[in-house]
Amino acid sequence: PPPPPPLDPCAKAKAGAQNATNISKTAAYGSGKTLVNNASADGNEHSVAFDKDGNGNIIPPTTVSTGGETNTTTLMDNNTVATLHNHPNPNQPPSAGDVYDLINSNIGLNNYEAHPNFTTKYVVVGNTTYALIITDRVAAQSFVTTYSPIQIGNNSPDFPSTVFDDYQDVLDGVLNNQELNEEALAYVLDKYNSGIALLKEDANGNFNKL
């Protein structure tokens, strides 16, 4: 008999999307997001980490990490389940660098320390909040091994040419457009079975897969 059809990417992301929504509705998340938004007035990226305590509660972040115009490094530990950072460019949703950072930090690849509880990366872009979530660790590890990032100068890591070309096809020459960039990222994450889903917060504060 033929093999069963692959699981719908939306179905795989459902539990992760609910988890992202649950975290985002905690007081700790609100506190962390306020810290990042206030710090972002300097035009740089800033980030916080959200940990769970022994009772499974999300606790407020204690520090804000400050980076540059296109990057920041978040301080995490074994209790970290999510991070949040801002993008100063109002047209730049989560990037390829954000995708690779989430995978590497979760699994412990490419000299990253493994944080298996870290599955959700929030990205604030102007008035829009996105989330990248891991839906399949095995697929994510396979993706980052097969489609290793390329590094050009001090820029954020980017997709290799095969994935990058498909991303650019969606943009169709229009670079500085938030909606086209989010569509392009969601498209390649699904096409290449990345084990990662891109979510976007709706007007009711719920995160849904793009």
Instruction: Report the predicted TM-score, pTM, of the whole model to 2 decimal places.
Output: 0.92
Q: What is the pLDDT of residues 14-33, one digit of tens each?
A: 888 999 999 999 999 999 99
Tokens representing 78?
């074994």
Q: What is the pLDDT of residues 141-170, one digit of tens each?
A: 999 999 999 988 777 889 999 999 999 999
Residue 12 has pLDDT above 80, yes or no: no
Residue 3 has pLDDT above 90, yes or no: no
Between CA 109 and CA 104 the distance in angstroms is: 5
Whole-number mean pLDDT of the chain?
A: 92
Instruction: Judge residue 14's burial from the number of C-beta atoms within 10 Å of its C-beta, 0-12 exposed, 13-18 middle, 19 or more buried.
Output: middle
